């Protein structure tokens, strides 16, 4: 098999990474994509750095065993805490979602503007976005705010229910009108964009890393001569638990027809 014919591996703690998968599928129609969702251990964002690191390495080794040509960590928590360690065990390029998200925010922000990073507790505690945003010539000010209930709300399919708006107000009302840019620093959060935007008000631009991460992946493949343009790519979905529920929510929330979802238990 030619290197360019190999699949791309993508993983997330659950189904949030499907926002990245969807962008990737639309940008790279010729690629084979293998998506892994760690539904037995979701959520990652309230767990310790050690646990997230151990889970991420286990999944990466599993996907590397599938002869992938690129590994995309489509989970902000895992990208914040495990990217360097995954790179140590990976013979292929490993991309995360923090850098692309930070770059999108910097593009959208005015000089000296204010960027509010939202994410899981683990992502916020890691301060990975603050590091990625530091030192830019635009000299933005950065605040980070953990919103731990957003992932369970999305996993429950309640993206437009009153509870989602109330939770968004609880976390974000103090920042209304005070941020130029808000980063959706979790791949689940684009599904809550409407309520988040409503709480923040019209002045705040909302950016997410899904599109930017997918563009970065294409760029990486082009520069390494690994792009697969030859045919219609296949999509494969694997989860660590409850495949039927995954399949149902993938369709309900993102319109993705996952078909037969395989199970790999750790």
- What are the catalytic residues? 75, 186
CA pair distance 23, 204, nearest whole angstrom: 23
Least Cα distance to 266 among 84, 47, 60, 16 occurs for: 60
Is 137 a binder of a second copy (CB under 8 A)? no
Site for a second copy in 226-265 (CB under 8 A): 240-242, 245, 265
Query: Should residue 155 be labelled a site residue for a second copy when binding is judged by CB under 8 A?
Result: yes
- Residue 262 beta carbon to a second copy: minimum distance, rounded to whole angstroms: 14
In which residue are the tokens 């996952």 written? 258
Q: Which helix (H) or strand (E) element contains residue 183?
A: strand 181-184
Q: How far is the CB of 138 from a second copy (least distance, A)?
A: 34
163 binds a second copy (CB under 8 A): yes
| DSSP code per residue over 225-241 | T----SSPPPEEEEESS
Task: Give 52 or 140: the residue with its C-beta nearer to a second copy.
Answer: 52
Task: Please give the Cα distance from 132 to 30 (Å, whole number).
Answer: 31
Contact 100, 48 (CB under 8 A): no
Q: Which stretch binds a second copy (CB under 8 A): 21-29, 166-174, 179-187, 226-234?
A: 166-174
Positive or negative, the CA dihedral 152, 155, 156, 160 is: positive
Segment near a second copy (CB under 8 A), from 62-70, 80-88, 98-106, 165-173?
A: 165-173
Q: Which is nearer to a second copy, 162 or 225 (CB)?
A: 162
Residue nearer to a second copy on the CB measure, 41 or 69: 41
**55 closest CA partner among 247, 240, 262:** 240
- How many residues of this chain bind a second copy (CB under 8 A)? 27
- Residue 43: asked if its preceding bond is cis (omega within 30°), the reply is yes
153 binding a second copy? (CB under 8 A) = yes
Binding map of a second copy across residues 33-72, x = CB under 8 A, - = no contact: ------xxx----xxx-xx--x------------------
């Amino acid at each position: 098999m030619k290197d360019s014919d190999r699949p791309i591996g993508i993983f997330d703690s659950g189904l949030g990474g499907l926002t990245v998968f969807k962008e990737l599928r639309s940008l790279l129609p010729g690629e084979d994509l293998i998506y892994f969702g760690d539904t037995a251990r979701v959520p990652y964002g309230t767990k310790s750095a050690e646990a997230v690191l151990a889970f991420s390495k286990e999944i990466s080794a599993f996907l590397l065993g599938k002869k992938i040509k690129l590994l995309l960590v489509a989970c902000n928590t895992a990208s914040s805490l495990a990217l360097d360690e995954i790179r140590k065990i990976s013979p292929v390029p490993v991309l995360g979602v923090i850098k692309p998200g930070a770059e999108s925010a910097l593009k959208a922000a005015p000089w000296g503007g204010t960027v509010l990073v939202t994410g899981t507790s683990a992502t916020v505690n890691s301060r990975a976005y603050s590091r990625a945003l530091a030192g830019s010539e635009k000299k933005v000010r950065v605040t980070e705010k953990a919103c731990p209930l957003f992932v369970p709300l999305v996993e429950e399919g309640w993206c437009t229910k009153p509870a989602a708006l109330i939770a968004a107000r609880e976390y974000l009302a103090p920042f209304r009108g005070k941020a130029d840019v808000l980063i959706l620093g979790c791949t689940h959060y684009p599904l809550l964009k409407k309520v988040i935007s409503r709480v923040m008000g019209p002045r705040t631009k909302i950016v997410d890393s899904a599109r930017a991460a997918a563009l970065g992946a294409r760029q990486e493949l082009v520069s390494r001569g690994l792009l697969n343009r030859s045919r219609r790519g296949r999509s494969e979905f694997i989860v660590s638990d409850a495949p039927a529920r995954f399949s149902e929510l993938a369709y309900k929330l993102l319109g993705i027809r996952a078909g037969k979802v395989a199970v790999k238990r750790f």
